[in-house]
Structure 1
């Protein structure tokens, strides 16, 4: 089967949230590190499920977080407070900045390979802020034809409408498109409209050197 279009997820797929954590403190002002810090990072970037630390009054709002930027901030800072973080805005402000997102080692190469073969690319993300500055910062924005972002589209993965919308904007049928992401639940839903799906592990950037290139190569893109 010939693949004529590629959809990529953002967080855990093309980029990873790698903030400066030295200033992260608990409610008493003591530094947060080690296992507690790792758990907090997991709660900040998990693509599905409700995290621990979310107040009961906000639980029903969680599934709307990537549709409403002010709500997103309220929810995530509440999760951080509930997780024992004393300065939640310190971490949240990094979450929505381009500087705290590190591209995987093969992100630029994968996007460039697709562009060089005239395979159009869309980045399809459940997100509540504009992620294009992260691509501009790494010199990869011109390789992406479409950014399909939930807060602008009014829908979140696994809603099949998002995948269909992305394919339509690329001008490629779903059956000739591959979705590459890190979540079987969220990104794997592309299969419902006929896309092929490749799942990569959201590992630290230094532990995943070539997963994107390998995924493309499996479909003859490379």
Structure 2
């Protein structure tokens, strides 16, 4: 199989929302006690987990959780609720949510630029496919990475989420590539691994902190003969 296109997930794959002490250290629980480092890390995990429910929810919020990446309003509703259920005051939950959806707060992995530039330079099409409810393009544009991406497919715009085969098909059509000639790189076996349903190859990366994952993207594309 010749890889003619590589599809990349966003969160935990190309970029990561890092724990930043400048906007976490002032957080307190509902009694006014400052959150310790483990509690701060858990908040970050709950905001960025690619799949899996992180708190118990009533039916109204369960619907919002299940559809959070299809509708920005539902995304806001459920994540503020998750943060509130995690012990934050409502105003702190709103503030932290604002960080989550700000593309400027997301950090690229050390090899993100190298991989995108190298893959595009080989004449291989590059797509970004994300279950997400806000526009991530500015994160690429601000760093000059958008020129290496041929197409973005975001779930809230297409109204379909991974692992539904249709969302992979949408991106592949825009890249002009048959499924069997494409590689999907992502951090979720459940969501990103759905590309295999269409016959695409899949490479799993670990959504570690950026300082702990220097070259997983390079390894993934090299293992599939792209570079």
Question: Which ranges of structure 2 fall in alignment gaps of 5 or more residues?
Answer: none
Whole-angstrom distance in 1 between the partners of 2:121 and 2:157:
28
What is the 5 A alignment of 1:131-142? 131-142=136-147
Change (3 A) 1:201 1:94: same
1:110 maps to which residue?
A: 115
TM score, norm. by length of structure 2: 0.94
2:166 maps to which residue?
A: 161
Three-state SS of the structure 2 residue aligned to 1:32 is coil
Whole-angstrom distance in 2 between the partners of 1:12 and 1:49:
15
Q: Is 1:43 paired with 2:46?
A: yes
Per-residue deviation, 1:136: 1.2
What is the 5 A alignment of 1:62-101? 62-86=65-89, 87-101=92-106
Whole-angstrom distance in 1 between the partners of 2:131 and 2:88:
24
- Residues 53, 79 of structure 1: 8 Å contact kept: no
Whole-angstrom distance in 2 between the partners of 1:28 and 1:191:
47
Whole-angstrom distance in 2 between the partners of 1:61 and 1:101:
24
Instruction: Please give the root-mean-square deviation of Cα atoms over the aligned residues, in Å.
Output: 1.2
Which runs of structure 1 show a deviation greater than 4 angstroms over 4 or more consecutive aligned residues? none
Per-residue deviation, 1:61: 2.6
Three-state SS of the structure 1 residue aligned to 2:185 is strand
- Residues 54, 82 of structure 1: 8 Å contact kept: no
Whole-angstrom distance in 2 between the partners of 1:219 and 1:3:
8
Whole-angstrom distance in 2 between the partners of 1:181 and 1:216:
11
Which 10-residue stretch deviates more, 53-62 or 200-209? 53-62
TM score, norm. by length of structure 1: 0.96
Per-residue deviation, 1:26: 1.8
Question: Which ranges of structure 1 fall in alignment gaps of 5 or more residues?
Answer: none
Whole-angstrom distance in 2 between the partners of 1:166 and 1:56:
32
How many residues align structurally? 222
- Residues 64, 75 of structure 2: 8 Å contact kept: no
Three-state SS of the structure 2 residue aligned to 1:179 is strand
**Residues 127-148 of structure 1: CA deviation (Å, up to 9, x unaligned):** 0000001111222111111110
Per-residue deviation, 1:56: 4.9
Three-state SS of the structure 2 residue aligned to 1:122 is strand
Q: Is 1:10 paired with 2:10?
A: yes
1:173 to 178, 181, 186: 178
